[in-house]
């Protein structure tokens, strides 16, 4: 098999893995997708996808990382989440991966709830924080899915144009 074909296959796998990472927090999501796009562009000698397109894709990738961090934190901060709730949400997200697909949705909520309870909050306030954290996570995921499709559309339009 020729090297260029191997690079294209690797690039495609990176893009697919990155798209999965938009939903599964174990994978780096859109940064991995961008790396696959960059590899494909490089393997093709930047003939189909050039530096201008790659720069736009890089900006969208950075935007996705910012959205990822801010969405959950903003949701939690809006209701006065403690540091323990935010840490709990992160732990819950990773623990939720053991119980796919439900765990992706329940883990962050449960982690924030437990973290807030450990902080000494009452159940009602802890549940409110857990829900706000979960809503932030889902909002971030929706935004990242939108960015993923925008990136893929731009890449493939430029590739086949």
| Annotated domain spans of the chain | 3-160
Do residues 77 and 103 lie in contact, with contact meaning Cβ atoms separated by under 8 Å? no
Please give the full DSSP string across 16-47, using - where no structure is assigned: HHHHHHHHSTTS--HHHHHHHHHHHHHHTTTS
- Tell me, what's the pLDDT at 94? 82
Report helix, strand or coil for 93: helix
- Tell me, what's the pLDDT at 43? 95
pTM above 0.85, yes or no: no
Mean pLDDT estimate for the chain: 86
C-alpha distance from residue 49 to each of 59, 97, 101, 104 (Å): 15, 35, 35, 35
């Amino acid at each position: 098999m020729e090297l260029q074909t191997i690079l294209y296959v690797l690039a495609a796998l990176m893009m697919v893995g990155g798209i999965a990472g938009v939903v599964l927090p174990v994978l780096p999501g859109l940064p991995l997708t961008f790396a696959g796009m960059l590899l494909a562009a490089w393997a093709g000698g930047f003939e189909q996808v050039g530096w201008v397109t790659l720069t736009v894709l890089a900006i969208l990738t950075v935007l996705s990382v910012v959205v990822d961090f801010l969405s959950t934190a903003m949701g939690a901060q809006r209701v006065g989440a403690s540091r323990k709730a935010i840490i709990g949400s992160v732990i819950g997200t990773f623990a939720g991966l053991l119980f796919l697909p439900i765990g992706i949705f329940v883990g962050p909520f449960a982690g924030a709830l437990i973290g807030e309870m450990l902080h000494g909050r009452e159940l009602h306030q802890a549940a409110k924080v857990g829900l706000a954290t979960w809503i932030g996570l889902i909002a971030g995921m929706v935004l990242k899915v939108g960015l993923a499709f925008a990136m893929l559309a731009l890449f493939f339009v430029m590739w086949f144009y």
